[in-house]
Amino acid sequence: MDEQEGIKLTPGGMKKLGNLVNIKDDIIADAIRERGGGQGQVNQLRSDYQNIRVGELAHLAAIGDPDAENAIKILKQARKKRDKYGNQ
Q: pLDDT tens digits, residue range 12-44?
A: 999 999 999 999 999 999 999 999 898 999 999
Measured over the CA atoms of residue 8, residue 12, residue 16 and residue 20, the dihedral's sign is positive
Mean pLDDT throughout 50-59? Answer: 95
pTM of the predicted model as reported, rounded to 2 decimal places: 0.83
CA distance 20 to 8: 14
Q: 14: exposed, middle or buried (C-beta count within 10 Å: 0-12, 13-18, 19+)?
A: middle
pLDDT reported for residue 6:
80
Q: pLDDT tens digits, residue range 61-88?
A: 999 999 999 999 999 998 776 667 765 5
Judged by DSSP in three states, 76 sits in helix
Q: How confident is the model at residue 2 (pLDDT cuts 50, 70, 90)?
A: very low
CA distance 12 to 34: 24
